[in-house]
Amino acid sequence: MPKGEKLYEGKAKVLYKGTEPGTIVQYFKDDATAFNAQKKGTIAGKGIINNKVTELVMHNLERIGIPTHFIERLSDREQLVREVEIVPLEVIVRNVVAGTMAKRLGMEEGIRLERPLVEFSLKDDALGDPLIAEEHILSLDLADEDELSEIFDMTHQINDFLRGMFAGIGIELIDFKLEFGRLYEEDEVSYSLILADEFSPDNCRLWDLKTGEKMDKDRFRRDLGGEVEAYQEVARRLGISLETEE
């Protein structure tokens, strides 16, 4: 697919300039990293699945009124998105205790929270994305109060919708990470907040509702094996065709 110059290579994606101004092409790799890139590997076919799962999720979220950066899928591994200024926060939503929350608070994984918890991390790989409070965000001017309140509103709506979507295919949505971006108008001053980045088994925890089996990147992080099959099963249940053009 035609694309412009390479802008940035991340752990799981490469970003290129799109052919139209204000657009970016996201290329999804099979590379997998964990624990701040201390563990590295690949999950065969992951890039194709994550591209298609992100397409489906972004498309469904647009339908319920969440603005996203997604424009269209271009190929197996590429999608066209709007260029935004990324808000330097990782917005983490938890429905069930797992991962770093379990570790930090000395809790068992699997405890259901009374209500969904929204946490923020500073998006900074060198620092290991440290957990920060709303007060840090406001004091450091990473986002203002209006933006934070919009982020909370959109995040809860996204969580409500996606929990239902996954429950419908026998999967419990345990937690996930979102990123938001500022989409500037032509005057380069006014902007709106939109959902950016991706939504895939790389940035969420998905447990089979019946068996509790992990169907996400924890299979890779924790050396459980079967990560290729788990990603494929998520795609299959979502009705995503994995016939490739490659």
**Does 214 help bind ligand 5GP (rule: CB under 6 A)?**
no
**Does 204 help bind ligand 5GP (rule: CB under 6 A)?**
yes
Identify the CA nearest to 227 among candidates 197, 206, 246: 206
Q: Which stretch binds ligand 5GP (CB under 6 A): 67-75, 95-103, 108-116, 151-159?
A: 95-103
| CA–CA gap between residue 167 and residue 207 (Å, rounded) | 10
| Closest CB 4 distance from ligand 5GP, rounded Å | 25
Out of 4, 88, 99, 226, the residue judged to bind ligand 5GP by CB under 6 A: 99
Q: Which stretch binds ligand 5GP (CB under 6 A): 18-26, 63-71, 180-188, 197-205?
A: 197-205
**Does 179 help bind ligand 5GP (rule: CB under 6 A)?**
no
Measured in residues, the chain has a length of 246
Residue nearest to ligand 5GP (CB): 99
| Closest CB 183 distance from ligand 5GP, rounded Å | 22
Per-residue contact string for residues 59-88; x = within reach of ligand 5GP by CB under 6 A? ------------------------------
Nearest-5° Cα angle at 216, 212 to 218: 90
**Does 90 help bind ligand 5GP (rule: CB under 6 A)?**
yes
| CA–CA gap between residue 110 and residue 201 (Å, rounded) | 18
| Closest CB 144 distance from ligand 5GP, rounded Å | 24
Per-residue contact string for residues 118-137; x = within reach of ligand 5GP by CB under 6 A? -----------x--------
Binding site for ligand 5GP (CB under 6 A): 90, 92, 98-101, 129, 175-177, 202-205, 217
